[in-house]
Every structure is written in structure tokens, then in C-alpha cells.
Chains A and B, each alone.
Chain A
Amino acid sequence: MAEPLPLEVRDVVKSFGSRRALEGVTLDVRAGEILGLLGPNGAGKTTVVRSVVGRAQPESGSLRVFGQAPIHPTAIDSRGWVPQEIALYSLLTPRENLWTFGRYQGLVAAALEAAIDRSLEWAGLADRAKDRTSNLSGGMKRRLNMAAGTIHRPRLLLLDEPTVGVDPQSRERIYAMIGELKAQGVSLLYTTHYMEEAERLCDRIAIIDHGQIIASGTREELVHSTLGNRETITIDADAPVGPALREKLTRLGATVDGTAVRTLAEDPPRMIRELLEAFHAEKTPIRDLTLKRGSLEEVFLSLTGRELRE
């Protein structure tokens, strides 16, 4: 019999009062892969994660962690969760925090001590093990937050926006830690609203908006299925776009937002020529013109009509 998937989410519906947070979410995390759950704030990413760790109860649908319900002891032992908040005891030291969460995960004695040492090393906090957690930098706290969620060596890890508010240098360290987990064969569900993160870290990406998975696949699959061979042309005008120019650009299929003009083109050279002719005819100067191959940003824009911003 085939090994059950690390995570199976099927048609999960969840409401908070009259607000529907999840509208039938379905996704899988396969063994050893990083699945990125990409979406704007409020899209439902955290609700999916909280449902997987048993902290939110869906009204319908099913969730399975290695074939078990989220609150089954086997599921609890085999999954780890790194919440978006720094959920640590700020008065305790990193070692004491790890001892606490290690005990809560059922580790004892030598196994617990070994896990604490290993986690401190992994998070690069061995030399700060006895400092008060409140005295650590933001990046260090984030890494300790990750260590507390992985001290019991879970086979499935749920990372909920682990790089929010982190400086670029610390972000790189967190990416390196995630790389190590992947190398160890850990399966990850990684929620983020950072496009670059999803493109860089994730094997597959599920895009969520308004509580629905609107597309999923590898980056290439998403770009191809959504944008086809089209490429993005962006023009930044050096003066406000007048009504006549706006009408011409709209006729060409472009969208105008202030001085920014954007369009998807299957034949970029021809489209660029037509756009430039329109600008020239209306005597509107151009500051910048870019041509981009399909990106997740374009995919999201194309699917939702909105940009994915913080």
C-alpha cells in the first residue's frame, strides 16, 4: 500500500461568524517537497495552517496528516508548526524555551537534551543559549521560533510567513535553514505573500485568494497555464496619460494606472512598436519601458485582476 501523503486537504470550508474564510480549499503536500501557499493578507493562508494543526475546526471537508486526522497523536508527533507570531516565552532563555516546547512534544531526558543542542546549533543560537529571549534580535527570535517548532523532528512542517519583518541578511539564514530541512527530507507547507520567496524556495505553488485555491502547480506550469506565451510590457510615462492616449492604449489591450501602462503581449515586438507609436502621436514622453517574461506577479494579476502586495 502506498505511503499516505504528508498532507491532504480536501474541500475545506471554514467561516468566522458571517465571514467565509475558506471556500472549499483543496491541496496536497507531497513527500519531500515544499509547497508554497501564496496569497495576499487575509486570503486564508493562516486559516489553512491552523486547520492542519487542529487549532481551527472546519465546517466541512477533510484534512489528513500522513493519513490521520489533525489531532490524532500520530499526526501531532509527525507535524511541526512555526506560527507567524513569535510564540515564545520572552523571559526565558532560548535553551529554556526549547526545553519547554520539547517537553510539550513528548521529548525527555537525553533525547530532549540532544534535541535542544541540535536545534540551537541549527538556528545559529548556540552562543546565545543562555541569554534572555527578549534580548535577542528580531531575526534571532524568528530562528528560535522555527527551532521551537521543529525540535521534535517533524516529517511535515508548516511554516506560516516565517520571514515577515525580517531584514535581508536574517532572511538568507532562514532560507538556509529551510534548505537544510528539505535536504533532510522534511515536507513543507510554506505560506507567504512574497512572490520572490515562493519562486525561490517552493517546488510547487498554490495561489489562494478569498479563501479559494485559484491555481496550483510548478512556477512554469502556473505561468504557462495562465499566461501562455504572453510576455509583460510595462511603460512608465513621463507625463500624465491624456484621454486620447488612454483611449488608444485601451484599444490595444493595455491597462493604464496613472503614468503606468501595462499589457500582456503574444507578439512583444509588434506590441511595443504600436505602443510607442501611440505615445509618439500624442507627444507623451516615456521614462521607462520593460519587457518581462511571465512571472508569478503576472499570474496573480491575470487571475485576480489585482496586484499581490503586502
Chain B
Amino acid sequence: MTTACAMLALVTDAFGGRGGIAQYNRDLLGALAGAGAVCSITVLPRHAPDPVATPAGITQHPPRRDRVRYVVAALRAAFAKRADLIFCGHLYMAPLGALIARLTGAKLIVQMHGIEAWPPASHLQRTAVETADLVLCVSRFTRASVLGWAAIAPERLVVLPNTVGSEFAPGDRSALQAAWGLQDKRVLLTVGRMDPRERYKGHEQVIAAIPQLVAAGHDVVYLVVGEGDDLKCLEASAGQAGLADRVLFLGSVDKPRLIDIYRMADLFVMPSTGEGFGIAFLEAMASGTPALGLDVAGARDALADGELGTCVAETGLAGALARALNSPNGDGEVLARAVQARFGRQNFNRGACAAVARIFEPS
């Protein structure tokens, strides 16, 4: 297998970053460095709010929020270490990545996540993507969307889905519910940002469905994990509906606590219309908790077309929730194994290395 020697990663955030994109970038770069698919990786982030710890083989520059400084730093880094592989962790980076690839003769990888890649890209971004040697997409939907606006050989668009760590594993749901004082309750859970620009996550739809579930005899508590500017609005909405005691906003939580919350829930629900993939679905199911989402966009992939979780139509969410709560919970261990078999770290690492290796295959 031919490997790249030096990779320059242009990312919004990775090590020391928060959220799904930073997680994906860490997973990908870590997989490539860990397997020796590339000799060294230089990461150039725009943001890194948390303490930075990078694995062996990866060096991360300090974050540069200023665009001009970022571009200058990227050019200097590319020529200083003569990168032969440029990785753009976001569509926004693609024009800069394409420019550097052209100047240095390096190969170009562009990463596509979710909604940013769905509508037709700007002329500059599209042109950059069309020159890419590889376009990594987190889901089939994102891949299909990019193919809709980019004139590029379809074989260059490879789906490398999000992965989930082995720390997400089933636990003792009853004990956790008892510890939280939620025994005899039916616990619904959503994990995700509450951003006014990202109202597609579907918190409001779940809140709106709760009265119907209660009327049907389900003593429901809805846990909402995450932060964002829309939190206040959602709290007000729950209060106005008289559900303040049933909808609990937990804010941002650390990972051990998050894993416990996943394990405790009876049903993870996220009726989102805008998921590039929906890593929270994976985390929930890997923790042994059934998941329900819409049969829309990248959520289909995380729910494996309904084979792992439940995919429902946008209409009739309350009915689907009632049916899910009426069904006995399946074996969490079986579900967790099925999730790891498809989306586990081993598959992800193998997929990442294979995708990069094929760029260097003789044509």
C-alpha cells in the first residue's frame, strides 16, 4: 500500500474542539496516524476552545480565527513540510485546499458533513470540490447531495460514516433511573445543540407530542441534553405547555455522565430533518437504548434504514413514539453489538485508511 508522507489538515476544529465535526476530524486523523496510513499530520484549526492533546504523529497549530492569518499559515505550513496530501475538514476550506494542492502538486481530500453540503455550493467551492481526488461524505444523503451539484466522477465520493467509541456501552437502566429518581417513568432523551439556526433537530415536536403520550398512559419524562441559544425558547415552550416538570433541560454534560444518561433512557428520539449523519443516534444505540428518528437525510444511515433504529415519517411522530414506548425494550447488548459491527471504531479506521490508500493506487 502506498502511503502519503505528509498531510496538511485544514479544519474548523479538531483536537480541543467541540461538536460532531471536531469529533469526526479527531476520529479520522487519529485513525490515519494510528495506522501509519500517513507519516505525519499537521493540523491547522480555526478554533480549539478546550485543552489540546494530540496522538502521536499529529501536530496541531494554535487556532487562527482570522481568515487572512489562517490562509497565510496554511500556505506556510504546506511549503514548510511539503505536504503531499491536503485534507479539508469542511467545504468552506475547499477553495484554499484546492489552491494549495495545485501549488504543491499534492492530492486533495474534501470532507462533507451535513447541511453545508446539501444546497448547491458557491462557484468557488464547487470548482474546488470538482478537482478533489477524494470527497469523504458522512452519509449517503450527503454524498447524493454533493453529486447533485458537483460534476465529479461518482467513484471519488466515498461514504465514511461517523463512528462510536467502545465507551458507549449498555449499563443497568433500572439502577440508573432509580438513582436519578426516575423509576416508573418512561424516559425520552434528545442530545444535540439547541441553536436557533438549527431548529431542525425537532425538540419542539417531541415536546408537542408529550401530552398525547401522557393521555395514552405513559408517564413520560423528556431529558434534553445540550446547550445553545435556543434553550430559553424551548424552556418557555415547555412551561407554556404545562410540561415544566416533564421536560428537563440538563445543559452540557461531561462524557461519563452523558453515557449514563444514554443508558438510562427508554428511548432516544431526535426527529431531526437536518442531520448529516446523527452521531447521537449511534451513541444511544451503542449504549443499548433504542433510537427513533425521521426517515430523512443522514438519519437514515445512523438508523441503518430502520434495521438498527426506527425510521418514521415526519408526520405522525406522536403515534410513532407511543408505539415505540408500548413495545418492550429489546436486548440492549444485542443492539450495541449490532451498532459496533456496522459503525465501530475498527470499521471506521479500516475505511479511513482504505479511502486514503486508494488515492495513491496506480491509475
Partners in one complex: no
Interface residues of A, Cβ cutoff 8 Å to B? none
Interface residues of B, Cβ cutoff 8 Å to A? none
